[in-house]
Structure 1
Amino acid sequence: MSDSKEDKPVLGRKPLGIKRTVESGQVQQQFSHGRKNTVVVEVKRRRILGKPGEVAAPVAAPQPDPVPAPAPVAPVARAPQPAPTPRPAAPPSLMSRQELQAKLLREAEEARMTALEDARRREDAARLAAVEDEKRRSEDSRQEADAPVEAPAPVEEPVAAADPAAEVAAPAAEAQEQPASAERPVSAVPPPRRFTPVTPAKRPEPAKPDRSKRGDDNRRQAGKLTVTKALADDDSARARSLAALKRAREKEKRAHYSGGAQLREKQSRDVVVPESITVQELANRMAEKGADLVKALFKMGTAVTLNQPIDQDTAELLVEEFGHRIQRVSEADVEIGIEGELDAVETLKHRAPVVTIMGHVDHGKTSLLDALRGTSVVAGESGGITQHIGAYQVTTAGGDVITFLDTPGHEAFSEMRARGANVTDIVILVVAADDGLMPQTIEAINHTKAAGVPMIVAINKIDKPEANPQKVRERLLEHEIVVEDMGGDVQDVSVSALKKTGLDELIEKILLQAELMELKANPDRAAEGNVIEAKLDKGRGAVATVLVRKGTLKVGDTFVIGAESGKVRALVNDKGENVKQVGPSTPVEVLGLSGVPMAGDQMSVVENEARAREVAAYRQEQATRKRTTSAPTSFEHMFSALNTTMIEYPVVVKGDVQGSVEAIVSSLNRISTDEIKVRVLHAGVGAITESDVTLAAASRAPLIGFNVRPNAKARQLAEREKISLRYYDVIYDLIEEVRNEMAGQLAPERIETIVGRAEVLQVFPAGKKDKAAGLLVKEGIIRKGLNARLTRDDVIVSKTFIASLRRFKDDVSEVRAGMECGTMLQDTNDIKVGDTLELFEVEERVRTL
């Protein structure tokens, strides 16, 4: 009956008539993210072989076929391991499904752990066998080297090669002789992989199993890190990975092909070090590691990071410590070579003279230039005065070319006149024969002397009846200008721009003076010049009027002007024609600038755009640093900065050209006083934009436009913010209105006039609190309602006014000197005999600047 029970089907399988050794069941696997899988497992019962009383754990997977060996391998003694006590298997009919699953899971886990343990034993045995084999080989080679030649050592390699089984058994026999490693039985050991390294390996490599045997588990289990390996105490349980072995072989191969691991010779470099450089940038220039530089700085006592800048001296210490050579450079070195070298004498050619016309306002400078050019320029200027520097070229009847610069004569344009004198060769001083020398004429003389250029005096307006040229020549003697007619070396000519008389003589003297000066320049080189005027054009962008001094400026040249750079997009001459190139002494409008430069800046053509941007960035940084680092230089400046009673009048100025803006700002600063001063928030060239309106709105400042207008958005924003937009085209009107506005910001001027004085003779009580005073009028008169000051020993006691005035018992309106009266003073009771009462009137007057 028991047999029939045991032959019942297990998990639905039909019995085969004999007692089954395989039990099957279902196991539910759980994975990450809640995934599950149900699989069918089989557990085979293993026949136990061993010593009496020793039970081995069942093995789940079938073992590979052992390699046949000629000699049996004795089992290595090992410590007895506890084995699970077998329980009497209950009949399937009496076991529940849960108990069966638990039993199958437990037996499967035991089988897996047993398989992992056997794999580790085989791996340890293989590694041990490889180590012993390597030791044996090295011992044999050492014995062969020490043995005499007459007694050669027996060679056993052919036998080993002929019998592969002996090759497998030898390492096992070697392992059997080692007592220290005799812990586990050695099963079938695969033959170790033999190779002769080029250089002796630092650590022996474990033998690899034979790849031809796919059923062997050594290949799969060698690179895995099992739980048993991770928890093992000895380091021998952890094997090197295949990637590590591959890297080691690659390293040996590289060392073999390169002739061994030889240290590369250190290369000494020339390191360019600026005034300030970061540690990382210095490391890159030295081709060193940044961490090494940081470590060296720490040893010097300087704690820095890679991105922290260091000075030039510290960088020099680092460069020398690492065996390099330093080359010190400065930030200003970027401008080296911008101006170019001096030209050779044989390359110089004659050039046209540059003539600047100077003089007082309304003395006929532009009219004289119009007569020379045959055109009319005055009609295009607002108010009939020149407010821009004009540059023109005139071709004479003889074919000679003269370049004229027309400068404004008003005092506001003194800086523009100074720039005109610095770029010119000859100065024509225009003096009206009827007016004589005026303040701006004297200023032009001083600019000419400072520039060191020759002068030609043109006495204009000789057609007028009141003209007196001789008086002008005599007045010039006061300023050390002696004309040729009076025995000097300064040429003079009498002209009339209106009647066009004396013009030929003027041109002749200009050419004569130029011939004496021998003006030459090299046209075959990179161009250099100066900015005469600059403006922001709506359709063309930033435009600069440049006077070329040397070289030839071509379309496409890369240049730098002051803090701006660019590339020449177009060249426009004084007649409005586009040209491809211009030579020395030629004025031309240059298009293609990145911004509006300052009038008077120097233009230089450079080799590429990167150099131009570098120089422009350096100059811009220097200008910013100069503008932001302004410290008081004296105690007066320090105390004036602390003076909070100063009233500021903020303005925003926008003009059409740079010269006009400079003249406006200079004039506004000149009309400032100790009580109120102009504060120019922003001064720029171009139309009024939204940013200008926003800036003016922040300080509630008026926005002044000189020959410019706002765009539509700026106009709407100004209306919404209620900003005052003021447009001017004549600089006189602008300055006058601003002066009146500034005067209106000041409080009216208070003027006190002393009317009379009286002495207090007696004090009477009047009412509960008030007091009445008996006075003797000493000076002037006392009138009812006048302001009064009560003084005692010349110290003001109180300020009051006359509330009532009586003489005897009658109310009177005034009392004259030498008479006595009684009075009531408003809001004061501190009255004593002997006090002085001073009466005065206050007159307020509107302030003017």
Structure 2
Amino acid sequence: MTDTKNTGDKTLTASPKTLTLKRPSETGVVRQSFSHGRTNAVVVEKVKRRTVTPGDAKGASAAPSPSAASTAPAPAPARPAPQQPAAPQRPAASGQPQRPAPAAPRAGGRPGGVVLRTLTSDEMGARAQALAGARIREAEDRKRAEADARARAVREAEEERERLAAEARKREEDARRQQEEEARRRAEIEAAKRAQDAATISTPQTAAPVAERPAASAPRPQSSAPYSAQRPAGPSSAGPRPAGPSSTAPRRPGAPAPIGGVRRPSAPIESEEPVRAPVRRAGPSAPVRAPAPAKPERAKAAPTKERGRLTIATATGGSDEERSRSVASYRRRVQRLSGKGHQEPKEKLAREVTVPETLTVQELANRMSERAVDVVRLLMKQGVMKKITDLIDADTAQLIAEELGHTVRRVAESDVEEGLFDAPDAPESLKPRPPVVTIMGHVDHGKTSLLDAIRQTNVVKGEAGGITQHIGAYQVTSPLGGKITFIDTPGHAAFTAMRARGAKSTDIVVLVVAADDGVKPQTAEAINHARAAGVPIIVAINKVDKPEAKPEKVRSELLQYEIQVESLGGETLEVEVSAKARTNLDKLLEIIQLQSEILELKANPDRPAEGTVIEAKLDRGRGPVATALVQRGTLYQGDIVVAGSEWGRVRALVTDQGDTTPEAGPSMPVEILGFNGAPEAGDRIAVVENEARAREIADYRTRQKREQAAARAVVRVSGLEQMMSQIKVAGKKEFPLVIKGDVQGSVEAIVQALEKVGNDEVGVRVLLSGAGGVTESDVILASASNAVVIGFNVRALKEARDAAERTGTEIRYYNIIYDLVDDIKAAMSGMLSPERREDFLGNAQIREIFAVSKVGKIAGCLVTEGVVQKGASVRLIRDNVVIHEGKLATLKRFKDDVPEIRAGTECGMSFENYQDMRAGDVIECYRVTEVKRTL
């Protein structure tokens, strides 16, 4: 058996990188010619085509690229194989040297050298896979090469077409330039001939033989100067010409055409010698004289500049001719010499000038299309000294505009909001819409629990302390098939603004009253809000499943607020429900649906959207987010909206279920992403046509807020009573705070609750309030004013915590609003000055004054009432008038110091730093205690 193992052989593998041949190329420059003598140099890349011959294929380490294979000629026929077949030679891999083929077996049949081993099945599979991959890459390369070849053919055809077009243009330009040069040269020859003929005819002489005249073929000097420079001094050729043969006379074939009565020479004059004047003869029989020596030519007149049409050929021509002046230049010269001519006065245009409340002088001049200098001059005539950058009021601007003959239309700055809200709709465009229902009532009466039972959710679980501190909007489907939008409001006393905001944007109010608690203060407040909004009320008596529930008590208590339910013969709808037992929830939804059908709620969905911002917050991941209720129209993703002093483009609309929707119709609550800042809760939202108007409205509202804040800061004193109250306020202690909350509504409720805390001595001053986490700038502001940072349902960022540690600023976190209010109230109570309380101890009467050396005066007294204690406060009373107040320094009984003396006992007393005591004075002894005050 023959051994075929070859230890030096390796398994055949496919190269991971496909070998390709890059076509060599070289660059050249082609000059393009255009009309009027313009040229352009273009760099052209020329691709070399390579022809592969059979001899070149032997040294190639890889198969040629498809592009080269397509252009190569057919290979020569292979030579016949030798008798001994050679072993197959594998192509060398990329980067490896070519291994020599094994030696052929010897003639005797025995193997000579190394014998190849047979490939295993795995190696055969790898080889087949490599060959298949190579075929696929080869097919792809072939397709790519064919596409490149087609693109290159198209490109080369386009370049060839452009080159031919450029060559054609160049030939046309050269032909045109040659024709112009020929015409110019012909004109110069004719001009010189006419000048010579005119000079010959104008000289008085007798007819001379033809032999004595200058030969026509004599050469003349050739010059490229214009005809006006070659014209000799003498009679102008433009004058009357002598009579000559008629231009219409017949002439022999081949004769030159006559010019100005003189026949043209048959050959052009190219002599370089000057043309001499003909020899004068004295008479017919006079001998022929020798020609006189040539006289020096007189100085020729300065050539006049001829004006012609200025073209690119004459401007860029290579001749020495002087460029002629253009018509426009000639006109400017004439106007300059004639004093700019006579200009007709322009008719002044009267314009309608829009004048706002304030504007600058330059803006007024621009609106009138007048010079700012004229406006300033008129202002100076009226005694007003203004620069063009100074502001003037609308009255002054109107006077100036009318003085200049313009009409004025006065506008207010608030006109930017015209047509933004409450545009009327056609009755036929109105369509039914879902009702908006607001849940209102006292705290802990089960409002959110009732809404959770309807929606089958658990919002209460996410609220701190089990009470609702946020306003929310949801949409559910009633048993009758219609949709109902619910707005949930907090019941805490601090959230009055939220309840008022919910009542304003609602159609129906559901008043939730607990059957075991009855009507409470926030219940009465909700009734007042509903009446102020003019919406119907549906009473939902909750917690009827509790043993202590008394629904009849609730019905009777509601009569105090003029609410008479149907069971008592009134018009107000009522229903007994239980959120925990899910009792009569369907009945409540049916009553709401029937009430909405009675109201006939309609809106136009085919118009720009309008709505109200229910809540706003600053989300760290999504940016400013506003919860809005669309009331009219349809809000689409991509609309430009304005809410208060904030504006933006709607990036996304998110429903109460967390799904993204492309549009939101009437009565649909959605979260709007895309505002440049968090708007205030309660702001009306509207869609505008472009960003310019949105920015203008937002800027106007920002200025309004700034002016209102400045007006509140300015103190206006208009009377003695207000002046005294202002003096009290001036010494008032302030408790500075920086408040940050999770939503705008909570921040608003906190600020309003804290403003009610305080008295004439101490109060809260809110430096900054807003939605979002506590930032580093908030901490820096608080440290500059020694304020406390309050975070409600938010936390401070890492940079803010580092800044607080660095500056020693206190940051307090809360998630229940009444805990926050109680802590601030306790902190403010510590700022109150303690109350001083005076406790009477006793009286003593001075009987005698004793003078003691080194001690001073000592009063001998008799304690008449109460007790006298050492170190207590005393008053010296003389004739019922307080003479002195101070401290009791010494209290002695005989020679001993005693702490106190009771009534009926004599003692000796001395005061601190006071000696003016007399017999008969009364000493009143008392003690002062301080009592801590609270708000």
**What SS does the corresponding residue of 1:617 show, helix, strand or coil?**
helix
- Kept in 2, the 8 Å contact 1:462–1:494? The answer is yes
Secondary structure of 1:288 counterpart = coil
Counterpart mapping for 1:80-479 below 5 A: 247-249=332-334, 261-479=343-561
Unmatched runs of 5 consecutive residues or more in structure 1: 1-156, 164-186, 197-210, 220-241
Q: CA RMSD in A?
A: 3.0
Task: Give the counterpart letter for 1:247 in structure 2.
Answer: R
Q: Deviations 1:64-100 (Å, cap 9, x if unpaired)? A: xxxxxxxxxxxxxxxxxxxxxxxxxxxxxxxxxxxxx
1:396 Cα deviation from its structure 2 partner? 1.5
What is the one-letter code of the residue matched to 1:632? V
Aligned residue for 1:642? Answer: 727
Q: Which residue of 2 aligns with 1:789?
A: 875
> For residue 552 of structure 1, what is the amino acid of its counterpart?
T
Which whole-Å CA distance do the structure 2 matches of 1:715 and 1:515 have between them? Answer: 55
CA contact (8 A) 1:534 1:598 kept: yes
**What residue in structure 2 maps to residue 816 of structure 1?**
902
Question: Structure 1 pair 213/782, CA: closer, same or farther in 2 (3 Å)?
Answer: closer
Query: In structure 1, how many angstroms separate the alpha carbons of the residues matched to 2:868 and 2:571?
Result: 75
- How far did residue 642 of structure 1 move? 3.4
**SS of equivalent residue, structure 2 residue 421:** coil
* Inter-partner Cα distance in structure 2 for 1:736 and 1:725: 16
Shift of 1:733: 1.3
Q: Is it true that 1:825 corresponds to 2:825 in the alignment? A: no
Give the deviation of 1:467 after TM superposition.
1.4
**C-alpha distance in 2 between matches for 1:250 and 1:268:** 31
Give the distance between the partners of 1:785 and 1:311, measured in 2 at CA: 73
Which of residues 857, 860, 884 in structure 2 aligns to 1:771?
857
- 1-structure distance, mates of 2:370, 2:394: 18
Equivalence for 1:711:
797
Letter in 1 for 2:594: L
Query: How far does the alpha carbon of each residue in 1:824-846 deviate from its partner, in whole angstroms, 9 at most, with x for none?
Result: 33332122233222222232333
Deviation at 1:254, TM superposition (A): 14
**Within 2, Cα distance between the matches of 1:671 and 1:817?**
48
Q: Is the 8 A contact 1:554 1:581 kept in 2?
A: yes
Judged with a 3 Å threshold, the aligned counterparts in structure 2 of structure 1 residues 297 and 192 are, in CA distance, closer, same or farther, namely farther
Cα deviation, 1:158-190, whole Å, max 9, x if unaligned, reads 899589xxxxxxxxxxxxxxxxxxxxxxx9996
Superposed CA deviations along residues 479-510 of structure 1, whole A, max 9, x for unmatched, are 22222222222122211111111212221221
CA spacing shift, 1:160–1:519, aligned 2, 3 Å = closer
Equivalent of 1:569 in 632, 651, 676: 651
5 Å-filtered alignment, 1:39-50, equals none
Cα distance between partner residues in 2 of 1:299 and 1:724: 62
Which of 535-544 and 331-340 deviates more? Answer: 331-340
CA shift, 1:597, in A, is: 0.8
Identity of aligned residues (%): 54
Distance 1:843 1:352 in 2: 67
1:511-660 matches, within 5 Å, as 511-630=593-712, 631-633=714-716, 634-635=718-719, 636-643=721-728, 644-660=730-746
Quote the Cα distance in structure 2 between the aligned partners of 1:646 and 1:478: 42
Deviation of residue 680 (structure 1)?
Answer: 0.8
Task: Pick the aligned partner of 1:482 from 527, 547, 564.
Answer: 564
Contact persistence 2:357–2:411 (CA under 8 A)? yes
**Corresponding position of 2:77:** none
> Tell me, what secondary structure is at the counterpart of 2:346?
coil
More off after superposition, 827-836 vs 700-709: 827-836
Displacement of 1:281 in angstroms is 1.5
Is 2:775 aligned against 1:689? Answer: yes
Decide whether the 8 Å contact of 1:632 with 1:638 is kept in 2: no
In structure 2, relative to structure 1, the CA distance for the partners of 1:810 and 1:549 (3 Å cut) is same
Amino acid paired to 1:292: D
Distance in 1 (CA, whole Å) between partners of 2:304 and 2:347 is 38
The 3-state SS of whatever aligns with 1:578 is: coil
- Does the C-alpha gap of structure 1 residues 673 and 765 become closer, same or farther in structure 2, counting only changes over 3 Å? same
Residues in 2 aligned to 1:251 and 1:365: alpha-carbon distance in whole angstroms: 92
Cα deviation 1:737-795 (Å, max 9, x = unaligned) = 11111122233333221122222233222334522223233332222332222233444
CA distance in structure 1 between the aligned counterparts of 2:481 and 2:452, rounded to whole angstroms: 19
Does structure 1 conserve the Cα–Cα contact (< 8 Å) formed by 2:626 and 2:678? yes
Structure 2 CA distance for partners of 1:824 and 1:307, relative to 1, 3 Å: closer
- Cα deviation code 1:423-452 (max 9, x no counterpart): 111111111111112121121122112111
CA contact (8 A) 1:774 1:820 kept: yes
Looking at structure 2, the residues matched to 188 and 158 of structure 1 have their Cα atoms a distance apart, in angstroms, of 16
Per-residue CA deviations over 1:177-205 (Å, capped at 9, x if unaligned) read xxxxxxxxxx9996696999xxxxxxxxx
Look up the SS of the partner of 1:462 in the other structure: coil
1:808 to partner: Cα distance: 5.0
**Match of 2:458, SS?**
coil
For residue 830 of structure 2, give the secondary structure of its aligned residue in structure 1: helix
- For the Cα contact (< 8 Å) 2:478–2:586, is it kept in 1? no
Moved more, 295-304 or 677-686: 295-304
Which ranges in structure 2 are unaligned for 5 or more consecutive residues? Answer: 1-234, 242-297, 308-318
The equivalent residue for 1:79 is: none
Matches of 1:776 and 1:514 in 2, distance apart? 90
Return the alpha-carbon distance in structure 1 between the equivalents of residues 557 and 838 of structure 2.
47
**Whole-Å separation in 2 of the counterparts to 1:779 and 1:548:** 81
What does residue 193 of structure 2 align with? none
Report the secondary structure of 2:933's partner residue: coil
Whole-Å Cα distance in 1 between the matches of residues 877 and 383 of structure 2?
A: 73
Runs of 4+ in 1 over 6 A off after TM superposition: 157-160, 191-196, 211-214, 242-246, 250-256
Name the SS of the counterpart of 1:420 in structure 2: helix
Letter in structure 1 aligned against 2:636: K
Structure 2 residue matching 1:745: 3-state secondary structure: coil
Cα deviation per residue 1:290-325 (whole Å; 9 max; x = unaligned)?
222222222333222222222222222222232222
Equivalent positions of 1:691-770 (< 5 A) are 691-770=777-856
Q: Within 1, Cα distance between the matches of 2:377 and 2:556?
A: 80
CA contact (8 A) 2:479 2:590 kept: no
Aligned residues: 629
Q: Which amino acid aligns with 2:877?
A: T
1:288 Cα offset (Å)? 1.9
**d(CA) in 1 for partners of 2:337, 2:596:** 83
Give the equivalent residue in structure 2 for 1:19. none
Q: Residues 491 and 836 of structure 1: is their aligned pair in 2 closer, same or farther, counting only changes over 3 Å?
A: farther
**What are the Cα deviations for residues 592-633 of structure 1, in whole angstroms up to 9, with x where unaligned?**
001111100000101111111101100110110111123335
Paired residue type of 1:599: A
Partner of 2:918, secondary structure, is coil
Secondary structure of 1:632's aligned partner: coil
Q: Distance in 1 between matches of 2:724 and 2:591?
A: 56
Tell me the equivalent position of 1:662: 748
In structure 2, how many angstroms separate the alpha carbons of the residues matched to 1:340 and 1:251?
65
Q: TM-score, normalising length from structure 2?
A: 0.64
